[in-house]
Chain A
Amino acid sequence: MIDPEMEFYLDPSRCIGCQACFHACAECETHRGVSMIHLEYVDRAESVQTVPVVCMHCEDPACANACPADAIKKTADGVVQSALQSRCIGCSNCVLACPFGVPRYIAPIDQMMKCDMCYDRTSAGKRPMCVTVCPSGALTFATREEIEAKRRERPMNAFVFGAQPVRTKVRMMMPGAGPAREVDVEALTALSGALADLMEALP
């Protein structure tokens, strides 16, 4: 069991795009050189903003629901596991279904692999590998009390994709001011280009 007090927080405003998380994930002994997470530039032409893409561990996981082989299981403590090797048929339904773009089809083994919140480490009282190495605090594994004492941002875990609400085990850190609200993913895709505008206006 993962300590029920410990929560996973994701804060892209802290991310520096270094990919330490991506590389470290591959180093976990159970992953054998394959990283189960990735890191994306949101729009490199506009900004250096990057986002680490770890599994959000949905309460009602679309990946598992879409799996025709029943290969994706959720643990009692809410971790959505990677595909069971014996069941996964490599169909990529989960890849298409996930609203966060998390699962990846790994062609050489004809299987899907995805982040399982380092279950081997977290269930043994350690932090996930990506969190442990993350040099910016963009990935954090801590108690609610700790995070509220340290951060201005507020954790939330309710998202809407068009009409579909999604609740997750992983918390997204949102700017601290104003009431906690759902993240409207569509609205956020229109990025603030303040720095880009500044560069544009230079003499």
Chain B
Amino acid sequence: MARLPQSPEALIERFGPRLAEAPASGWENRDPDRLVKTHCSFCGLQCGIQLKVKDEQVVGFEPWEEFPVNRGMLCPKGVKRYLQGGHPDRLLSPLVRTDGGFREASWSEAMDRVVENIRRIQGTYGPDSFALLSGASLTNEKAYLMGKIARVALRTKNVDYNGRLCMVAAGTASRKAFGIDRAANPWSDIPLAKCLILAGANIGECFPILTDYVWRARDQGARIIAIDPRATPIARSADLLLPVRPGRDSALLNGILHVCLARGWVDREFVRDHTVGFDQVEEAVARYTPERTAGITGVPALLIEKAAEMWGQAATGMLLHARGIEHHTKGVENCLAAINLCLATGKIGKPGSGYAMITGQGNGQGGREHGQRCNQLPSGRDIENPAHRQVVAERWGVPEPSIPRTGLASTEMMEAIHRGEIRGLLSICFNPIVSLPDSDYTRAALEKLEFFGVIDLFMSETARHADVVLAGSMQEEDEGTVTTAEGRVVRIRKAVEPPGEAREDWRILCDIARQFAPWEKFPYSCAEDIFRELRHVSRGGPVDYYGITYARIEEEHGVFWPCPELGHAGTPRLYEGGRFFHPDGKARFHAVEYRPPAEDVDDEYPVILTSGRVVSQYLSGTQTRRIGPLVQQYPEPLVELHPKLAATVGVRTGDRVRVTSRRGTLILPCQVVKSIRPDTIFIPYHWAGEKSANRLTIRALDPQAKIPEFKVCAVRVERAS
């Protein structure tokens, strides 16, 4: 039974969120004892930052201007992240739930409970009845460990992660088209592009330091095209904004390609020599005339033609996209339509020409490479591929048949809990009650679990439902690596020890694993031991880290995979010379036919709701809702709506509106702005409970990637009296 043991108010009273306003040292005397060069934890760009440490606490930051990606630049999250140091909400010991709340417990008691419950549940209902949920903000080492624990120790097929909510659509599309899953170009290619398409990428708020790269391209004469239902900060200064109706991206991208084809802006030679399947794409996009595309997408035909003119005639060009085109039941198709546009115009694999998904989570790239996904073994290997299974089985020293097959995606696990197939869950670095769609459904699932264990550093809204909470580590309390959104493997440095009784996550995980597998399967004595094994397991695989070492990363400011040998320089730009990663070396076109979103508007729910981020918050807010200055910047979610819609609802900025979907209702203050389509409202998703946008969103998944359709559902908007 994982109902809340106390009222939310009582839990908040004890565990927060409370706001840290000042450094643990105070302002007066924080001359640091040392500066630690590491990376920000709060998005896939992984900006370099120096943390100030005084009296063994992180008390501030200093820009790290030598790190080449951000050269000292940061966003407000990076500037204020240090306020987690010495935070009053920090979990300092294991907690065990009681009838009336949580009590502190010893590590041995807490771990025994976890292990006993895994044994009991797996013994009663079978190995797959116990599932692991993981996160894409974890280091590569921990991500690798989570997958290995599931397959070697617990032998459950059900391990998956919150990257399912982030980058799986893009990853699936890239594997289909290119045979590998990584941004094709380093960020340093952006200023070399003469045209940039930013599709569903709110760069100014979600990846702020990339703004500098985009503006540097513009300084060199690049044309910037933004595709977004909102005039976001980056779209404001773009040459062209295509204000697409949410859920119509594949049609719009097809429409742009249609015009390129009609005007002859196609690289026939490149298509002939380096790709397969163009004929079907040509046939499919023939139907997407500017007029028909305008009808579907709500983007004027003239703008579609202008976009094609800019992209098609530019000597070089990069298409960058983010969750705006990925959070859809056709997320994979949207990404494939974007890739088609790059391939058809030969804009790939060259300086200033290419394609990138801007991965959102701290280790969004590495988190999806090392085997913590339900359908994947380490190094991007396919869990159903016999050769891949054999290699991994040999390197792990286990019989191949002992490795489970494909399990359930994290988005599907909640349904499996409702069905009674999953009875127990251990979760790390994931706050599904806030981040999954249809929160009430998720909460009801957690309440049905026979056992729920959580490893976290703060008491997240999800952890409140746990039977046992294990106090884990914050990013700066452990060594490791992450792989940035451009494919660069960088080092996370331990600045301080975990406080109190809290422990490094990997030690907690290994102690659990060793209860279910021989010690020699998990023999690590430090994070680098795990990385060494990860490198060896990856050798020769699709995601090859063999040539990357901690020492090299530090010397070279990161190394890009693939890096198959120690003497290999790494691979910042993929697909040079038109060589792709399918066995025949050719890229694959995929014809995409537009289909509507899972839930379209109707008379009862006539407005589109789209959700996303604000610059001052990160994901489910477990960390950033505890940092005072970030909370003050944008204290609570606002419903953005256009004056036309506001007039029909009868509200002005500051009035409260009731937003109702088929899942639930929210009442929030509104902000009337001309920077959004009149048929669409926007609500950021970082908050919990009565302020949680995901109480409205729909549990509809992309059939291939299992990513939810966070970007489109139907709602009714009314004035709240």
> With an 8 A cutoff between CB atoms, is A92 at the interface?
no
Query: Residues of B contacting A158 with CB < 8 Å?
Result: none
- Alpha-carbon distance A45/B349, docked complex (angstroms): 42
Query: Residues of A contacting B616 with CB < 8 Å?
Result: 19
- Alpha-carbon distance A196/B241, docked complex (angstroms): 11
Residue in B210, B673, B679 with the greatest tally of chain A CB atoms within 10 Å? B673
Docked-complex contact A196 and B204, CB < 8 angstroms: no
Chain B 184-215 near chain A by CB (<8 Å), digits 1 or 0: 00000000000000000001110011111001
- Alpha-carbon distance A15/B63, docked complex (angstroms): 20
- Alpha-carbon distance A8/B446, docked complex (angstroms): 54
A16 touches which one: B31, B211, B219, B231 (CB < 8 A)?
Answer: B211
**Chain A min CB distance to B34 (Å):** 16
> With an 8 A cutoff between CB atoms, is B286 at the interface?
no
Given contacts A24-B79, A33-B22, contact A199 B676 (CB under 8 A): yes
Chain A 37-94 residues near chain B, CB threshold 8 A: 44-50
Name the residue on B nearest A46 (C-beta): B674
Chain B 658-700 near chain A by CB (<8 Å), digits 1 or 0: 0000000000000111111111000000000000000000000
Docked-complex contact A135 and B73, CB < 8 angstroms: yes
> With an 8 A cutoff between CB atoms, is A29 at the interface?
yes
Docked-complex contact B219 and A135, CB < 8 angstroms: no
> With an 8 A cutoff between CB atoms, is A186 at the interface?
no
**Chain A min CB distance to B121 (Å):** 46
A195 touches which one: B212, B241, B644 (CB < 8 A)?
Answer: B241
Chain A 1-31 near chain B by CB (<8 Å), digits 1 or 0: 0000000000001111111101110110100
B236 touches which one: A47, A134, A152 (CB < 8 A)?
Answer: A47
A23 touches which one: B21, B28, B76 (CB < 8 A)?
Answer: B76
- Alpha-carbon distance A23/B629, docked complex (angstroms): 8
Docked-complex contact A195 and B236, CB < 8 angstroms: yes
Query: Residues of B contacting A136 with CB < 8 Å?
Result: 204, 208, 211-212, 215
A45 touches which one: B80, B644, B673 (CB < 8 A)?
Answer: B673
Chain A 165-203 residues near chain B, CB threshold 8 A: 193, 195-196, 198-203
Given contacts A47-B231, A135-B208, contact A200 B219 (CB under 8 A): no
Name the residue on B nearest A11 (C-beta): B215
Query: Residues of B contacting A151 with CB < 8 Å?
Result: 219
Docked-complex contact B63 and A202, CB < 8 angstroms: no
Query: Residues of B contacting A133 with CB < 8 Å?
Result: 63, 72-74, 78-79
> With an 8 A cutoff between CB atoms, is A132 at the interface?
yes
Docked-complex contact A132 and B231, CB < 8 angstroms: no
- Alpha-carbon distance A136/B219, docked complex (angstroms): 12
Query: Residues of B contacting A19 with CB < 8 Å?
Result: 76, 615-616, 633
**Chain B min CB distance to A26 (Å):** 8
Docked-complex contact A18 and B237, CB < 8 angstroms: no
Docked-complex contact A13 and B237, CB < 8 angstroms: yes
A132 touches which one: B65, B203, B236, B671 (CB < 8 A)?
Answer: B65
Query: Residues of B contacting A47 with CB < 8 Å?
Result: 231, 236, 674-675
Given contacts A48-B675, A195-B231, A198-B241, contact A135 B209 (CB under 8 A): yes
Given contacts A27-B79, A32-B27, A47-B231, contact A135 B211 (CB under 8 A): yes
Query: Residues of A contacting B633 with CB < 8 Å?
Result: 19
Given contacts A48-B232, A133-B72, A152-B219, contact A16 B241 (CB under 8 A): no
Given contacts A47-B675, A193-B674, A202-B677, contact A16 B27 (CB under 8 A): no
B30 touches which one: A16, A22, A24, A29 (CB < 8 A)?
Answer: A29
Residue in A15, A29, A137, A198 with the greatest tally of chain B CB atoms within 10 Å? A198
Name the residue on B nearest A31 (C-beta): B27
A-B contact pairs, 30 of them (CB 8 A): A13-B237, A14-B211, A14-B215, A20-B73, A23-B80, A23-B629, A26-B629, A27-B79, A29-B30, A29-B31, A32-B27, A33-B22, A45-B653, A45-B672, A47-B236, A48-B236, A132-B73, A133-B63, A133-B72, A133-B78, A133-B79, A135-B73, A136-B212, A193-B674, A195-B231, A199-B231, A199-B642, A200-B674, A202-B298, A202-B300
Task: List 4 A-B pairs, minimum CB-CB distance, nearest first.
Answer: A16-B204, A196-B674, A16-B233, A32-B27
Report which B residues bind A (CB closer than 8 A): 21-22, 27-28, 30-31, 60-61, 63, 65, 70, 72-76, 78-80, 203-205, 208-212, 215-216, 219, 231-237, 241, 243, 298, 300, 615-616, 629, 633, 642-644, 653, 671-679
10 more A-B residue pairs beyond the given contacts A136-B212, A137-B216, A199-B675, with a C-beta to C-beta distance below 8 A = A13-B237, A14-B237, A16-B203, A45-B674, A47-B236, A48-B231, A50-B233, A133-B72, A135-B210, A199-B642
